[in-house]
Amino acid sequence: MRAIEITQPGAPDVLQLCERPIPTLNPGEVLIRVHAAGVNRPDVLQRLGRYPVPPGASDLPGLEVAGEIVDGDLTGSRFRKGDMVCALVQGGGYAEYCAAPLLQCLPLPAGLSALQAASLPETFFTVWSNVFDRAALADGETLLVQGGSSGIGVSAIQIARALGHRVFATAGNDEKCRACEALGAERAINYRSEDFAGVVKAITGGKGVDVVLDMVGGDYVPREIDCLADDGRVVLIALLGGAKATLDLGQVLRRRLTLSGSTLRARPVEFKARIAASLHQRVWPLIEAGRIKPVIFKTFPLEQASAAHALMETSTHIGKIVLQVL
């Protein structure tokens, strides 16, 4: 099969087209003939040598795919060979075939193409796990999404808004802010020209937000603490702004605040299977009703994966970048 491999840590041009054997399956896995694969920030970090591959996972990049199930033991499942699915995987998505845990597969939402569905798993699993499971965003609560125009951001805004929450977001320019608002953010804040903590406090009448989804870290964290409501929660999923922060722990104590972090890639299949079940029950109907839509900025053919990574590194995109494989 054709695949994209990381020849050595480095710039986008270290991504090269190669020939690899079609993956062999472990128990509980299915083989997917990949039609499309999503491109995500962790793929960039892996290419740079800063995101280690979990033991036993493919060294090929790619954490989400959509395509046709062509092999595997489907006994007792809802799927049959020939079914079209999208799946969260530990790696190997930038290829014509990919092994995926059956329990991490979801049917293509009605009305969506494989290209559109390939943009869903990594961000939707991440958002659900952190915003709704870990932070337990409850009815009537509010959410602030940092980086609202990113793949994670557009997913978080849409899911939370479709489930009835007030959502606010930050983005790096006015165009991205307007895009966030078009997707359902009540107010998008240009973090280059506005103080997001001050704006959040003002638009919530001084209360603050109940949950912050943070992929920045660094000096954002103390400002997020400042704009949390009592009993508020920050969920940290990336460290694009740095791994160190100085916090006012007095606020954490007095106002019963929670700061937690998580990564998804190395978690066991059983953990991800529970997220898949929640998404199928709670979110897939909203996609099929048109209340949540894939946001794809640009697609590239598989052999142009390096160009896809170069685009991601500019941070000019709004939404997802996807590789067309078939």
Read off the pLDDT of residues 164-200 as tens digits, 9 standing for 90 and up: 999 999 999 999 999 999 999 999 999 999 999 999 9
Q: What is the mean pLDDT of residues 63-85?
A: 96
Q: Which two tokens stand for residue 124?
A: 């939707």
Read off the pLDDT of residues 216-250 as tens digits, 9 standing for 90 and up: 999 999 999 999 999 999 999 999 999 999 999 99
Could you tell me if 153 and 169 are in contact, meaning their C-beta atoms sit under 8 angstroms apart?
yes
Q: What is the DSSP letter of 244?
A: -
Q: Which helix (H) or strand (E) holds 250?
A: helix 249-254
CA 204 centroid distance within chain: 27
- pTM score, whole prediction: 0.96
> What count of Cα atoms within 13 Å lies in the side-chain half-sphere of residue 304?
13
Q: What is the mean pLDDT of residues 76-93?
A: 97
Per-residue burial over 203-240, b if 16 or more Cβ lie within 10 Å, else e, is: bbeeebbbbbbbbbbeebbebbbbbbbeebbbbbbbeb
